Amino acid sequence: MSSIKRGAKESESEIRIAIIDSKKCLPKKCGLECKTACPVNKTGKVCVTVEKTSKQSEISELLCIGCSICVKKCPFDAIKIINLPHGIPNEVTHRFGPNRFVLYKLPTPRIGSILGLVGTNGIGKTTALQILTKKIKPNLGVFDKEIEWPEIMKRYKGSEIFLYFSKLLEENYKSAFKMQFVDQIPKIISGKIGELIEKKDQRGIGKELTKEFQLDTIIDREVSQLSGGELQRFAILITLLQDVNIFIFDEPTSYLDVKQRLTISNCIRKYTSHNNGENYVILVEHDLSILDYMSDHICCLFGKAAGFGVVSMPYTVKEGINVFLDGFLSKENIRFRDYELNFRQNEITEDKEEIKLEEEDASKKVVRCYPKMKKVISTFTLDIDEGAYTSSQIIVLLGENGTGKTTFVRILAGLDKEIGVELPAMRVSYKPQTITPKFEGTVRDLLNARLNGIWESNILFKQHVFDPMMVAGLFNFEVKNLSGGEMQRVGLVVALGRPADVYLIDEPSAYLDVEQRIITAKAIKKFILLMYKTAFIVEHDFIMATYMADKVIVYEGNPGKDCKANAPTPLVEGMNKFLNLLGITFRKDKQNFRPRINKFESVLDREQKKSGNYFFVEK
């Protein structure tokens, strides 16, 4: 049974759980090594249970001694024995079954405010949201019988979550849920978006929101014809149209550009304040600058992906994000990560000095120029100013969707044969915006075919790209079965592993969680600097963009019509220009140097706009 059934003596000692991945555990194809090697089994007790006819093995957490021999012996890497960090409360909210994922505690929604959830993928955020909307009834860790609501309410009596569940059950609060994977929407519903909006408009704000979300020009289009960004805005709009008391938004900014992210942030706050503000709003978001901007308080989730997840107490927005980045929950006195995530640039310089690279080596510093260009696609025109770039430099492309960023990247990649201009001679490696896996085989097969063992022969690549992206753990996975985040990490490793002078990377943050985004940004930054390469990167996550960028190309104009790509400019100058176009200002957090959006028309916002310093100005 579950570890929550332990006696007092055991609960005071170290608690461990055993997790078995049902997709990886294949008793019919192995020699049952976990069972035969288990030292507890050898004593005559039954700790590991499995037969050739079993669907998967099962491990008794009460008998398990934590030796991890079964973990090492399993040929499919299907078993995890996890020792829970000291201090985790023994408050199991839900467990999916024997040796399956465990969620401890729940987020704490508050009436009239927006609760943000921050944590890595596979840590239980979506499970928590499903519990808070009654899609899943919490079983308190008891999965062999059904737990009734009175017993569940007894567990949470005297807490804020008790008040929430009371309203959910007794007052029959209704909820609206914006799903995480909006690309699945066309498989669920069909029809013209204008008709669907009119049908779902319970509050009479459909026309107003359609205009705010810039969907008014495509109301006659079928749902199946919408792009990722259009599907995202459509899904958020449909959620806001419903007359409910609980609004849930699971990753609302995917596929959206910076301006659209700010628009939906403001709309979520504005259009969820009806019913005299007696509503609950909960969101999951991986873009920290937007999470900071949208939320009123934060709950952090930590644990082991696909193993267990723990929900922290609520924090203020600034404190909540900072303790997550620091890896230490001050209120609970729990350290859940042995390193902090920050945005300091000096560690890259230290790496450069450590491997004794000569920064002034003129033979490695290469300057290239691309000419002035013009690209016309149907009714869309893109004018590109001439520009220059050097080795050990990252140029980030900033602009709204539809302004021609991907068009420019494809030109540099040599994929546009009709451009009619001579580009500088260079080897390029291109990671497209959307990665469609066509390779038949495992990740190991793909990497061997594309990179020929570079992660073993190139120490810098292995240390700064391959290991941080954690691709080795995916070696035995079929490429076609990878999740979006796993495919993104593999795609980045393949792109950066190819021999090239210039690396063209379109939206590296897509599908990645907060921690993976920061690790990815640092991996790209270190690789480009230390290997004397150049990168052009399209990125909408402002924290990633500002951390990586040495220079920026600002795109302006009318999306989808007439746009201009300016020449590369220094980071601060380019960011000031871009933020001026958006009408927002940023400051820098003094603890971990992350960029934070100033509240619109706040004192600091007005002061920075007046001085013309839109970017990273502190009082």
| 3-class DSSP state of 603 | helix
Instruction: Using the CB atoms, write b or e for 302-340: b if 16+ within 10 Å.
Output: bbbeebbbbbbebbebeebbbbbbbbbbeebebebeeee
Q: Please give the DSSP secondary-structure letter assigned to residue 568.
A: P
Mean pLDDT score, 161-187: 90
pLDDT of residue 361: 53
Q: Is the pLDDT of residue 350 over 70?
A: no
Residue 2 pLDDT greater than 80, yes or no? no
pLDDT tens for each residue of 23-45: 889 999 999 999 999 999 999 99
pLDDT at 326 over 50: yes
CA–CA distance, 563 with 578 (Å, rounded to integer): 14
**Which pLDDT score is estimated for 136?**
94
pLDDT at 10 > cutoff 50: no
The answer to whether residue 4 scores a pLDDT higher than 50 is no
DSSP letter, residue 212: H
Left if phi > 0, otherwise alpha if psi is -120 to 50, otherwise beta: which for 99? left
Comparison of pLDDT for 590 and 500, the residue scoring more: 500
pLDDT surpassing 60 at residue 192: yes
For residue 350, which phi and psi values (nearest 5 degrees)?
-65, -40
> What does the pLDDT average to over 83-98?
82
Which amino acid is residue 437, in one-letter code? P
47 has pLDDT over 90:
yes
Q: Are 303 and 309 in contact (CB under 8 A)?
A: yes
CA distance 592 to 543: 12
**What's the mean pLDDT in 115-128?**
94
Q: Which helix (H) or strand (E) holds 154?
A: helix 149-155
Mean pLDDT along residues 416-437 = 86
Task: Give yes or no for residue 391 having a pLDDT over 60.
Answer: yes
Instruction: Name the band, by pLDDT with cuts 50, 70 and 90, for residue 422.
Output: confident
**pLDDT at residue 619 above 60?**
no
More confident residue, 501 or 181: 501
pLDDT score at 12? 42
pLDDT in tens, 261-320: 999 999 999 999 888 878 999 999 999 999 999 999 999 999 998 899 999 999 999 999
Rounded CA-CA distance 398/317 in Å is: 27
Environment class of 538 (CB within 10 Å of its CB; exposed 0-12, middle 13-18, buried 19+): buried
pLDDT-derived band at 346 (thresholds 50, 70, 90) equals low
Q: What is the mean pLDDT of residues 477-501?
A: 92
Q: Is the pLDDT of residue 476 over 90?
A: no
- Check whether 89 has a pLDDT greater than 80: no
Mean pLDDT lowest among 192-201, 236-245, 475-484: 475-484
pLDDT confidence bin for 87, thresholds 50/70/90: low
pLDDT of residue 14: 61
Specify the pLDDT at position 185. Answer: 93
Which token pair is 392?
């050990």
Q: Determine the pLDDT at residue 457.
A: 82
Does the pLDDT of residue 175 top 80, yes or no? yes
Helix (H) or strand (E) holding 586: strand 586-588
Q: What is the mean pLDDT of residues 545-565?
A: 94
C-alpha count within 13 angstroms, C-beta hemisphere, residue 611: 13
What is the CB-side half-sphere exposure of residue 123 using CA atoms within 13 A?
23
Q: What is the mean pLDDT of the chain?
A: 89
**In DSSP terms, which residues pair with 383 in a beta bridge?**
374, 564
Q: What is the DSSP string of 63-118?
A: T-----HHHHH-TT--EEEEEPPTT--S-EEEE-STTS-EEES-----TTSEEEEE
Tell whether pTM > 0.85: yes
Give yes or no for residue 362 having a pLDDT over 70.
Answer: no
Q: Are 217 and 257 in contact (CB under 8 A)?
A: no
Mean pLDDT computed over 354-370: 63
**Which helix (H) or strand (E) segment is 17 a member of?**
strand 16-20
Q: Helices 228-241 & 193-200, crossing angle to 10 degrees?
A: 20
Inform me whether the pLDDT recorded for 363 exceeds 80.
no
- What pLDDT was estimated at residue 370? 94
Q: Choose between 578 and 425: higher pLDDT.
A: 578
Contact predicate 473/516, CB 8 Å: no
Minimum mean pLDDT range among 76-85, 98-107, 378-387, 497-506: 76-85
pLDDT value of position 183? 85
Percent of the chain whose pLDDT exceeds 90: 71
Distinct helix (H) and strand (E) counts, the chain: 24, 28
